[in-house]
Each structure stands twice: as structure tokens, then as C-alpha cells.
Amino acid sequence: MKKTIPLLIVILGGLIWVAWAFSPHYILQEVFYNQFYLPWAYASSPFAMLLGVLSLTMMHSNKIKTRGPKWQYSYFFFGSFIITCLAGFIGGIQKGSLFMWMFENVQMPMSATMFSLLAFYMASAAYKAFRARSPEATVLLVAAIVVMLAQVPLGVQISKHLPSISQWILDVPNLASKRGIMLGVGLGSVATSLKILLGIERSYLGGGD
Amino acid sequence: MNIFERMQKLDRRWIYIVVALAIIIPLMIPYDSDNVTTPPTENLYQMIDSFAGREDRAILMSFYHDAATMPELFPMEVAILRHCFERNVKVFTLTWFPAGAPIIDYAINSVKEEFPDIQSGVDYCNFGYKPQAFAMVLGMGDNIANTMNTDAEGRKLENLPIMKGINNYSEMNLAIEFSGSSAGGMWITYARPKYGLNVAVGVTAVMAADMYPYLQSGQLIGMLSGLKGAAEYEKLVDIFAAYRDPKIDYSIKVDEDGNQILPGRPFGREILEDDSSKKLSLITTQTKAKFSMDEFAAFSAKYPENMALLNSLRSLEDDMVIIDVTQITPEQRSQMGETMYRELDRLTRNTLYKFKVARIGMNAQSVAHIMIIVFIVLGNIGYFIQKARQAKN
Amino acid sequence: MSFELFSNLVGAFFTLCIFSFLYKDNPFYQAAEQMLVGISLGYGLVYTYNRVFVPYVWQTIVIKHQFVLIIPAIMGILYLFRFSRKLGWLSRYPIAFSMMGVGIGVPMGIHASILVQMRQAMVPIESVNLFLIFIGTIAVLLYFFFSKAHSGAYGKFVNVGKWYMMIGFGASFGLTVMARISLLIGRIQFLVNDVFGILK
């Protein structure tokens, strides 16, 4: 019973959505979509944020309580979270407020830097791990080197045909392999969506009772 | 341990230092280089350019990313905004991530500084952060003002001058999504089949190779891939949209036949392949405005009251009249007026730093790519020699 | 020192805290990492409150008196019961409401990712490139069809798909290298121009 009603909601609602995609009827387009689904989706969405807050808060307070590894740094998490929330709720979110200043000058640089570390790891991997162990790996490396050289301004000075060779590699063999993979992935995801729609796939409901 | 074994066991922190130097040094020494444009970028440029000066067409830019992918996507966004502000194309911006909202503000404020006549609500409109992307994408196909309701500043859309002539996707006919992952997916799957919207994407280079099937099938009309795409677009904007002919008076909006006079010039392949266009998109700082004799005569005819001042500043070199803007003193600048000074500054064909960030980055990219290729080759040489020695033993 | 320079220096400090991880894991990096998570979460919470909760829940219920929307608001609160062992089954209702949207994914997904792509793969073969694309698409699709063994002439044809994929992945790898390095270039441009450029 606890799983049946949500399952029925998904199946019936999903079938109405399928009908919505094909039928311009007033009941589907106006009553179901504009008057029921949209306001309800907007009203129920902000609470999902609280899930993330609760989950992280529980994890870090557990760490502090049980003195897990690197538990002292959890205080930095709580401190920065509470200060940001207070700055946002009390000071407002307009440009120039403390809240936006913290986001633009603390969070944005750090978030960008986290990703830029990947460049160093890539260079290290290029030196230590990329080996032409088999003919296929050699073809992969040669294609990569041609594309890499053609992307930069230096490429056209090495050979004026390099940009068009690289464009051919991207337009023909790359396109064919990506299209084949995309068709496979598309078929797989449509099959999974259909299984959810028909109630065969129920893992999203979670385990237990 | 011989040299090859030592090479294989090299501490990776030495590699990190080489990477850092390979990028810092080219960034500190700018030099001119040429980025060859590719068809996906040119198609996007031409589509946006076809909306130039039209009241019943607009583009929508969706900033579907956060600060992490800004180095690749921000120069693209700035280049497209500059193109739109130069050629009078209406722009709408929005984001589906809360973290994307400050990025839209940075982009618009950074470009707006150079265009004092551009106004919010008239030439561009920022919707800001909007939740429930799926509902918004479908709702805009029926009516944009009803779906979006207000812009980022809280003004009702129906009252804004920019909405005159824009109802839904039939008028706001191009959506460009900038994202580091799954760019354009929602627009291609839902908005394009139902409403016929044209979709283009600006993606990080990681995703670019995966987008080629969509380009060939026509589901995407154009694509900017990574920093190279941004550099190509900046070059196209410099050569075409930012170009000013010294003979034309751009303060007149309509000529005697009733045709609109738009700044810049339309895309033309012969102009792009001509050698003279290379001088329009230089990375190094340019300070000299160059005119041929007829161009100088037409330019000075526009400002007859400053003829004496112009004659005092000019010098001749190979049949070309040269005016060096660094020689203009503050008194001379206030004498000639801001309009004339700005036009002279424009005719030096100098690009501001913020509009050539991607091209400077591509210079550093050249050095970095050579470095990675050297690493791969060295690593493989060491590996194969090691293997041969072990086989011999 | 202007306010803008001070803000850039704060950004540079945190950038270097994260870069310090390349040398060795250290307390600056650990603290900066936790602050990043804390500020991101706080930002998301405040922004969601201001831009989603207030206009679409508070104003519609309290000011516009659309009391029927109390039901989806309560349904949204049921998300939080995910952490309770006894009442965890209540959280299935809001999940089921959002999963309803899978119904639209089936026809639209079939159209955009399968039918349109198939149609483009079946165009008249007028040039060598189109022929190569046609052969490549079929070979790659058949490579992943595991119900038939890859042996004999069939195996040789399917092997062509493997070569196509190697070239495709090589192109992706080349572009990925460019992407990763671009991210680093962005950070170094910030440090060199916005911070040290002003100090000079």
C-alpha cells in the first residue's frame, strides 16, 4: 500500500503527460498543465533544498560528535554556512551586499580553482600514463595530437592543411562514432523511461516497506 | 638508475611547475596570432547578425553554468553580447542555476561600459534566475511575458519597450545555451520539435566533440567550442561587427532611401580570407589610426570645426594619414569632444583587454599543447626503451 | 588600497589555498574546501528562499489566497521524511510527483535523440564523407550489439567500428586537454592581471 499509491501517481500522471505531448485538447493543455501541474511544481520545489542542508548538517555534526577524521574542519563548514545565511536573510541579496561579496570573492574563485587543478593532473597523466601500447591506442593518440595542434594558432603555421584535416576528423569519423553511441544511449534511456512509466522499474521509490 | 628509469619515476611536482610556467610566461608577453574560424562558429555569427536592427527578432542567452567553467564560457558570452550591442540585436538573458545570476551581471556590466547608449529594458533584458526550467522553456513558446512575468529587477515584462514586437519563439527565434554539461538538451528535445526554435550552444571543449551529430542533423545551427570558439567569435566581431568605415556618419540612423544604417558590416567570406582583415583583430595594443587620403577627407568633413586640430595631429607614412591617439593631450581631447575622440579611438582598431581575453588565452594554449605533446612523446620513448631493455634482459 | 583590490586579494588568497594542495595536503586547503561547501550551500538556500519560496509559495498562498497550493507545499515538506526510518515512506509522494515528468521524456526523447538522428544517418549517399559516416554509424551500433558473437566476416566489419571509436575518442581527448588547460589559463589570468596587474 505504501508503494502502490505513489506508483499509481507516476503511471497515471506519466500517461497524461504522454497524451499532452500529442493532443492540443483544452483539458490537457490548459487545465492539467497550466492550472494544475505548473503551480504545484513551483510550490513543491523549494523544499528539496532543505534535504541537502539537512543531510550535510547531519553528516558534519556526526563527525564532530564522534571525532571522526579531520573533524575540526567541520567547524569551518558550519561557520561559513551560518554566516552566509545570516548575511543573506538579514542583509539581502542585492549586488554590493555582504552576501554577494562573499559569493563573488570567496566561493567563485575557489570553485574555479578546484576545476583548474585538473589541468595539472592531465599533464601528469600525459607524462606517466598515456602509452601507445596497442595499434588502437596509437591511433587514438595520433588523432588527439592532430586535433590538439589544429585547435591552437600555432597549428596553421605548422601546416596550412592542419585545420581542415582536424575539421574532417571531427566531421566524419568522430561524428559517426558519437552518433552510434548517441543512438545506443538514446534507446537505452527511452527503454528505462518506458519501464518507469509502466511501473516495471521501481527503484526510485527506495527500498524497505 | 639510468636516465630512462629516472625519467619514468620523476616526481609529479616538477611536472606541475613546468605546466605553471608554460602558462604564466605566454600570458605576460602578448603576441599576435591568428585563430582560423570554423563553420559552426561562422554559422552562429551569421544567424545572430541576421537579426541586426530588427525590432521583431531577438536572441535568448541561457547561462546554464556556474563559476567553475567561467574561463571558457565567459569570453564567449562577452563576445556575443558585444556583437549584439554593436549591431543592435535585442538580447534576453536568463539562468537556471542560482550560481549563474552573478555571472550574467558581470557579463552585461562588463560589456555595457563601452556602450553608453545601451539601456536595460530597451536593448537587453535580464530575466535572472528562473526555477523549473522545463516549465519555462515550454511556456515561452506560447507567450514570454506571461511565463516569465518579471525580469531580474522585478519590472513587469509587458511594460518594457524591448517586448514590443516579441511574443514567443516565433520572434525570439534563437536560443543559445552556455553550459559545461548537457548543453541545449532541453531546448533540442522540447522547444525545437514543438515550436521550431533555432538552438545553438556554447560548450566547454569537453562536450564539443559529442555535439557534432546535432550540428549535422540541423538540431543545432551553430556551436562555440571552448576557448577556441570564443577566440574565433571575438575575431569575427572585431572584423565585422566592430568595424567602422571612416566615410560613413553613423549618427544618422536612416539614409535617404529609408534603409537603416547599421554600425559594422555584414559577414563576408572574401573579407575574412583577405589579408587586410588580419590587421583588424590584432592582440597587441594598437595606438595609430590609419586613413587613406579619401578616408581622411571624409572623416574630417564630419568634424569641420576641428579641422585645424586634426591637421596638427596627423602625420604621413606611405600615402597613409596616421594619427597617434597617445599624442592627444587632455586639453585637445576636451576640445575635440568625446564623440570624435571615441571615433578616433575606434579607428585605431585596438581591442580592449576584456574583448580579447580568449585570444590571449589561446596563445598560452599553444605553448601548453606543445608541452603536453612533448610530455606524451617523452613518456612513450622512455616506456618503450625500458620495455626493450627488459625484453633483452 | 581600494576596495576592489582588497576583494581581488581575498579571491587570490583562497585561490592559492586551493592550489597549495598540489604540493601537499595541508590545513589551508582543508579549511578552504569546507568553506567552499558551506558558502555554496548557504547561497543556494538563501537564493531559493528569495526567488522560489517567496514568489511561488508565500505570495501565492498568503497574498493571492490560492489556498489549494497548501497541498503541494505540504507535499514538498514530506521530502524531509527521507531521513526517518519509520515515516520514510511519506517521502515517496513528492518523488512520485516529480517522476510524473518521465512521461513527456518518452515521446520527445524518441523524437530528438533517435528518430531525427536516424533520419540524418539515412540521407542519400552523395559523397565519400557521407558514405564513411554511414558505414561508421552502423559499425559502431553493431559493436555494442552483444547478442551476436563478433566472429568471422561480421567480426571484421564490427572491428571497423572500434577504429572509428578510437578516432572519435582521440578527438574528444584532444579537445578535453584544451578544456582543462583553459580552466587553468582563466585562473592564472585572474592572478596575473586582476591582482598583480593592479599592484604594479
ipTM, 2 dp = 0.87
C178 → closest Cβ in B20, B128, B365: B365
Interface contact flag, B213 A179, Cβ < 8 Å:
yes
Task: Decide if B102 touches A, using CB distance below 8 A.
Answer: yes
Chain A partners within 8 Å of C9 (Cβ)? none
* Domain assignments of chain B as residue spans, ordered by start: 3-29+356-392, 39-241, 287-348
Q: Which amino acid is at B97?
A: F
Rounded to 5°, angle at Cα C48 from C46 and C53: 110
Interface contact flag, C140 A181, Cβ < 8 Å:
yes
Based on the fold, state whether residues A123 and A69 are members of the same structural domain.
yes
Higher-confidence residue of C75 and B261: namely C75
Chain C partners within 8 Å of B99 (Cβ)? 40, 43-44
Q: Which amino acid is at A130?
A: F
Average pLDDT estimate for B218-239: 95
Interface contact flag, A54 C80, Cβ < 8 Å:
yes
3-state helix, strand, coil in chain A (%, to 5): 80, 0, 20
Q: How high is the pLDDT of residue C199?
A: 46
Residues in chain A: 209
B332, three cell numbers: 585637445
- Which tens digit of pLDDT belongs to each residue from B182-194? 888 899 998 999 8
| pLDDT exceeds cutoff 70 at B67 | yes
- The pLDDT confidence band at residue B161, using thresholds 50, 70 and 90, is very high
Q: Coil, strand, or helix at residue B138?
A: helix
Based on the fold, state whether residues A59 and A125 are members of the same structural domain.
yes
Which of A116, A118, A200 would you mutate first to test chain C, the one with the most C CBs within 10 A? Answer: A116
Q: How high is the pLDDT of residue B300?
A: 85
Beta carbon pairs, A and C, within 8 Å: 378
Which of C14, C16, C20, C34 would you mutate first to test chain A, the one with the most A CBs within 10 A? Answer: C34
State the nearest Cα–Cα gap between A15 and chain C, in angstroms.
6
Interface contact flag, C108 B204, Cβ < 8 Å:
no
Residue identified by cell 574546501 is C33
A74, three cell numbers: 567541520
Name the phi and psi angles at B315, rounded to 5.
-140, 160
Which of B216, B353, B371, B376 would you mutate first to test chain C, the one with the most C CBs within 10 A? Answer: B216
Task: Decide if B386 touches A, using CB distance below 8 A.
Answer: no
Q: How high is the pLDDT of residue A29?
A: 83
- pTM more than 0.90: yes
Burial (Cβ within 10 Å: 0-12, 13-18, ≥19) of residue C158: buried
Could you tell me the end-to-end alpha-carbon distance of chain A, in angstroms, rounded to an integer?
9
A180 occurs within a structural domain: no
Beta carbon pairs, A and B, within 8 Å: 122
- Subunits with 3+ Cβ pairs within 8 Å of A are B, C
Interface contact flag, B71 A112, Cβ < 8 Å:
yes
C-alpha C190/C-alpha C198 separation (Å) is 11
State the nearest Cα–Cα gap between A50 and chain B, in angstroms.
15
- Which tens digit of pLDDT belongs to each residue from B19-64? 999 999 988 888 888 889 999 999 999 999 999 989 999 999 999 9
Name the phi and psi angles at B78, rounded to 5.
-65, -40
A138, three cell numbers: 596509437
Strand partners, B156: B150
Based on the fold, state whether residues A86 and A111 are members of the same structural domain.
yes
A55, three cell numbers: 543531510
Residue of B nearest to C133 (CA): B213
C192 → closest Cβ in B24, B68, B218: B24
C101 → closest Cβ in B131, B134, B204: B134
Name residues 9-38 of chain C within 8 A of B (Cβ).
Answer: 22-23
Higher-confidence residue of B342 and A64: namely A64
Mean pLDDT score of chain B, rounded to an integer?
Answer: 90
Interface contact flag, B131 C51, Cβ < 8 Å:
yes
Question: What parts of chain A have a pLDDT lower than 70?
Answer: 208-209
Interface contact flag, B378 A127, Cβ < 8 Å:
yes
Strand partners, B61: B93, B176
A170 occurs within a structural domain: no
Could you tell me the end-to-end alpha-carbon distance of chain C, in angstroms, rounded to an integer?
13
Residue of A nearest to B208 (CA): A170
**Among B77-81, B345-349, C29-33, C133-137, which stretch is predicted with the lowest mean pLDDT?**
B345-349
- The pLDDT confidence band at residue B312, using thresholds 50, 70 and 90, is confident
C-alpha A157/C-alpha B33 separation (Å) is 10
Chain A partners within 8 Å of C75 (Cβ)? 40, 44
C-alpha A104/C-alpha B193 separation (Å) is 38
Interface contact flag, C186 B70, Cβ < 8 Å:
yes
B379 → closest Cβ in A116, A128, A154: A128
Beta strands in B157-279 (DSSP E): 174-179, 198-203, 222-225
C-alpha B293/C-alpha C194 separation (Å) is 41
Q: How high is the pLDDT of residue C198?
A: 55
Topology of the domain comprising B39-241: Rossmann fold (3.40.50)
Name the phi and psi angles at B125, rounded to 5.
-145, 130
| pLDDT exceeds cutoff 70 at B101 | yes
C-alpha C169/C-alpha C178 separation (Å) is 14
Q: What is the mean pLDDT of each run of 10 residues along chain C (200 residues)?
A: 89 94 93 95 93 91 92 92 88 91 89 90 90 94 88 91 95 94 93 72
State the nearest Cα–Cα gap between B23 and chain C, in angstroms.
7
Interface contact flag, A113 C144, Cβ < 8 Å:
no
State the nearest Cα–Cα gap between A27 and chain C, in angstroms.
17
A40 occurs within a structural domain: yes
| pLDDT exceeds cutoff 70 at B277 | yes
Chain B partners within 8 Å of A111 (Cβ)? 66-68
Beta strands in B116-155 (DSSP E): 124-129
Interface contact flag, A180 C52, Cβ < 8 Å:
no
- The pLDDT confidence band at residue B77, using thresholds 50, 70 and 90, is very high
Q: How high is the pLDDT of residue B1?
A: 57
B204, three cell numbers: 566547454
Q: How high is the pLDDT of residue B317?
A: 85
- Which tens digit of pLDDT belongs to each residue from C66-115? 999 999 999 999 999 988 888 888 999 999 998 888 888 899 889 988 99
Q: How high is the pLDDT of residue B17?
A: 93
Task: Decide if C199 touches B, using CB distance below 8 A.
Answer: no
Based on the fold, state whether residues A73 and A92 are members of the same structural domain.
yes
Average pLDDT estimate for B155-176: 94
| Cβ neighbours for C127, distance < 8 A, ≥ 6 positions apart | none
Conformation bin of residue B194: beta by default, left when phi > 0, alpha when psi is -120 to 50: alpha
A5 occurs within a structural domain: yes
| pLDDT exceeds cutoff 50 at B338 | yes
| pLDDT exceeds cutoff 90 at B157 | yes
Domain that includes residue A21, residue range = 1-45
Interface contact flag, A187 C114, Cβ < 8 Å:
yes
